[in-house]
């Protein structure tokens, strides 16, 4: 079990990130919420009990922004963060029907949003946790990391890439930092809710991802769960 009851959620303005924040707060954590859009973070904070969250905006695609985020955490918080969750990413269609120019644009976008940005955040998070004496590092990727799904010539490879980054990072950080990659199937959030329609209840619910994160915080610090597959009982 983590000694610290303070967490950081990067990508907190998205549907999955918000659900993770809500579940952590319900479990008694103080949470630093971070994303690019400060207005969305303020809306999330207003929906939660008073004094349970701290807002620190950051853009994980920018190294300086990530460094500033962790420096501000060290300077502003009384208690160190013991749990870092990265729930950031995006999707753009890439199929064989794309022309080369649009394929390059979408692929480059996916590399930045799903691989480079999350990798920078995870690396910085691991460094911070190691400095604090240990903790839990969680990435939320996708089942596309391990499945061949149509229309995902950019999304799939980048999710697979960030998955393997977490596994390699787990080998590098030593015993005091546990790294877990959560790979959910289709999640009932945002635009996906509209696409799913009447089947939305059969998808992965974002609060279940939050509950998995809370579960990870309750395990012995010497118990490492390197990856978790969350599959729906329905093929979308």
The residue among 179, 149, 185 whose CA lies nearest residue 164 is 179
Find out whether 163 and 210 touch, Cβ atoms under 8 Å: no
The pLDDT-based confidence of 151 (bands split at 50, 70, 90) is confident
pTM over 0.85: yes
Share of the chain above pLDDT 90, in %: 69
Rounded to whole angstroms, the Cα distance separating 61 from 179 reads 21
- Please report which confidence band the pLDDT of residue 236 belongs to, taking 50, 70 and 90 as the band edges: low
Q: Supply the pLDDT for residue 21.
A: 98
The 3-state secondary structure of the chain, one letter per residue? CCCCCEEEEECCCCHHHHHHHHHHHHCCCEEEEECCCHHHHHHHHHCCCCCCEEECCCCCCCHHHHHHHHHHHHHHCCCCCCEEEECCCCCCCECCCCCHHHHHHHHHHHHHHHHHHHHHHHHHHHHHHHHHCCEEEEEECCHHHCCCCCCECCHHHHHHHHHHHHHHHHHHHCCCEEEEEEEECCECCHHHHHHHHHHHHHCECHHHHHHHHHHHHCCCCCCCCCEEEECCCCCC
How much is the pLDDT for 174?
Answer: 78
pLDDT confidence bin for 217, thresholds 50/70/90: very high
Position 139 confidence tier, pLDDT thresholds 50, 70, 90: very high
Q: What is the per-residue pLDDT for 1? A: 64
Per residue in 166-211, pLDDT tens? 999 999 997 889 999 999 988 888 767 777 787 788 888 999 999 9
Q: Hunting for tokens 């977490």 — which residue is that?
A: 166
Q: Which domains does the chain show, CATH number per domain? A: 6-230 (3.40.50.720)
pLDDT digits (tens, 9 = 90+) for 11-39: 999 999 999 999 999 999 999 999 999 99
**What's the confidence (pLDDT) of residue 235?**
65
Nearest to 54 by CA among 73, 68, 82: 73
* pLDDT attached to residue 38: 95
pLDDT given at position 74: 94
């Amino acid at each position: 079990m983590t000694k610290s009851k303070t967490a950081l959620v990067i990508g907190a303005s998205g549907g999955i990130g918000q659900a993770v924040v809500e579940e952590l707060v319900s479990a008694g954590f103080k949470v630093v919420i971070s994303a690019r859009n400060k207005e969305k973070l303020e809306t999330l904070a207003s929906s939660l009990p008073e004094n349970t969250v701290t807002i620190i905006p950051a853009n994980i695609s920018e190294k300086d922004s990530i460094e500033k985020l962790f420096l501000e955490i060290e300077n502003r918080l009384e208690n160190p963060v013991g749990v870092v969750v990265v729930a950031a990413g995006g999707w753009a269609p890439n199929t064989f029907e794309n022309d080369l120019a649009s394929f390059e644009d979408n692929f480059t976008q996916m590399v930045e949003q799903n691989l480079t940005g999350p990798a920078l955040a995870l690396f910085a998070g691991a460094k911070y946790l190691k400095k604090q004496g240990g903790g839990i590092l969680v990435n939320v990727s996708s089942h596309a990391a391990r499945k061949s799904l149509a229309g995902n010539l950019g999304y799939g490879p980048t999710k697979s890439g960030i998955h393997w980054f977490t596994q390699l990072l787990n080998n590098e950080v030593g015993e005091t930092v546990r790294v877990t990659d959560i790979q959910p199937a289709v999640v009932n959030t945002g635009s996906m809710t509209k696409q799913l329609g009447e089947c939305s209840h059969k998808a992965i619910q974002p609060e279940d991802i939050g509950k998995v994160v809370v579960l990870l915080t309750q395990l012995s610090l010497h118990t490492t769960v390197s990856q978790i597959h969350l599959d729906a009982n329905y093929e979308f």
